[in-house]
Amino acid sequence: MEFSDNILLLGISWYVVFLFSLTAHEAAHAWAALRLGDPTAYHGGQVTLNPLPHMQRAFFGTVLMPIVSFVWSGGGWMMGWASAPYDPQWAYRYPKRAAWMALAGPLANLAIALGAAVAMRVCLAAGLLQLPTEDLSFVALMAPTEATWTTGLAVTLSIAFSLNILLFLFNLLPVPPLDGSAVLQLFLPEAMGRRYQEFMSQPMLSLIGLLAAWRVFGAVFGPIYWFLVVHGLFLGIL
């Protein structure tokens, strides 16, 4: 039986990668905030790659929603969320530092994607994985060799690359409440950055931003993702 047809094994691979990716994203936020002067997340236990503190803070987003979405999609994808606390007064005082804190999460996902890309190329060179003989997909960027255990390796690395490219690009969309909405603060004077924060923190803008991201991201993600797969992963740019 193909690994992708075994819903239990596929679900385990999805969840392990998903939880690690989400944990790394939030731990990066928390670590950056600590380094830049806000220990709020550190005191909350979020400066760690141990997923348990993140799961305790957002049980629905890290446990229930991923499982429900995976079953609902027929094993096609997982979605969920987590969060790291921060001091809004600190962010208001230091808008540039707050922007770097926001960017740390997506950059962690980019690092995981790059690591998965390197691992796939190493496994390809070592003969542990091979190029797919069928069409590429989100979970099948590499194909197993004759060794049975490499099936799980191919799927896990494919998900790690694909999911983290998705998380990196999605979170960089410049709309609230996504991390990318803070990028502009890096280029604004501090006083203007504070006014920008006040404007972007309006609840209605966050709702509009999420709706806009949902509508736009599908059109943006596909071309960028496949460009990175073909010209980056397979041609050795990454």
pLDDT one-digit tens code per residue, 165-176: 999 999 999 999
Q: Among 30, 44, 36, which Cα is nearest to 185's?
A: 36
Q: For residue 128, what are the domain limits?
A: 3-233
Is residue 9 included in any domain, yes or no? yes
Position 104 scores a pLDDT of: 98
The answer on pLDDT for 59 being more than 60 is yes
pLDDT band, very low/low/confident/very high, at 6 (cuts 50, 70, 90): confident
Q: Which residue has the higher pLDDT, 19 or 130?
A: 19
pLDDT band at 1 (very low <50, low <70, confident <90, very high): very low
Of 227 and 23, which is predicted with more confidence? Answer: 23
> Has residue 74 been placed in a domain?
yes
The secondary structure of the chain in percent helix, strand, coil, rounded to multiples of 5, reads: 70, 5, 25
Contact (Cβ atoms closer than 8 angstroms) between residue 232 and residue 117: yes
How many separate domains does the chain show? 1
Cβ burial of 47 (10 Å; 0-12, 13-18, 19+) is buried
| pTM of the entire predicted model | 0.92
Q: Quick check: 164 pLDDT over 90?
A: yes
Q: What percent of the chain has pLDDT over 90?
A: 69
pLDDT at res. 237: 42
- Residue 16: inside a domain: yes
pLDDT score of 110 more than 70: yes
Residue 214 or residue 87, greater confidence: 87
User: What is the rounded distance in angstroms from the CA atom of residue 16 to the CA atom of residue 35?
Assistant: 28
Q: Which H or E element spans position 66?
A: helix 65-72
Residue 63 has pLDDT above 80, yes or no: yes
Peptide bond into 177 cis (omega under 30): yes
The reply to whether 17 falls in a domain is yes
Q: Which of 13-17, 138-142, 149-153 has the highest mean pLDDT?
A: 13-17
* Residue 130 domain flag: yes
Residue 105 lies in a domain: yes
pLDDT tens-digit series, residues 193-215: 999 999 998 888 888 988 999 88
238 lies in some domain: no
